Structure formats: C-alpha cells, structure tokens
Amino acid sequence: MSKNPSEGKLDTVIGPDTNVKGDFKVSGCLRLDGQVEGKVEVAETLLTGAKSIIKGNVQCRDAVIAGRVEGDIVAAETVELQSGAQVFGDVKCRGLIIQRDCFFQGNCAMNPGGAQG
C-alpha cells in the first residue's frame, strides 16, 4: 500500500455485532467487522474482517477485503482480496492483489493513473 503518514491509524471501527443501514463517509481509515447496507466512502484505507458484509458500493483510496462485498469497489490505488474474501461486483483500481481461496464474480478495470468513480 502507499507510504501515507496516516498509514496504520484507524479513525473508525465498526464492531462485529454492529449493523449499519444507510450511506456514510469516513474521512480517514475504517475497520469493518460488522455489516453495512449502503454506500461506503472512505477517504483512506478500508479494512474488512473475515465475517464482515457490505451490501452496497465502496469508494476508497485502498481496500483490504477479507469478508464479503456485494457491490462495486472503486479504489484510487490498491484493492487486496485476502484468503476467504468474497466479492460480487466490479472492481476499478490501480493495482489488484488476489490471494488464494478468494471468490470474485465481476469485472476488473485497472487504470495506472488511479481509478475514477
């Protein structure tokens, strides 16, 4: 991922027993272990846990996905699908990393200049 000074700093955490309905924006980094139904906009890095579920589109700078996403992911930089991740939607990004034992159903468009939503 990028060499951003805020790297490693989590601004918002949504725990495993939390369900969010509706669109929301995070101005920094987000760690998601719960469920979200709606559009998620994260200015920096989105990190999802293995049991997380997003039902809606995602827009971020970087994404590290370990859970389930049912929607499109648009990242200005990198999307990483970790082992066990499930993505049902299109991915637009600058760089894509897919680890073993992932499920990805959709299309991928890569732009070396950064993805545009």
pLDDT digits (tens, 9 = 90+) for 16-44: 999 999 999 999 999 999 999 999 999 99
Confidence of residue 4 (pLDDT cuts 50, 70, 90): very low
pTM of the full structure:
0.88
Tell me the C-alpha distance between 59 and 36, whole Å. Answer: 14
Instruction: Between 98 and 111, name the one with better pLDDT.
Output: 98
CA atoms within 13 A on the CB side of 15: 2
28, 55, 94, 112 from 14: Cα distances, Å: 14, 15, 26, 31
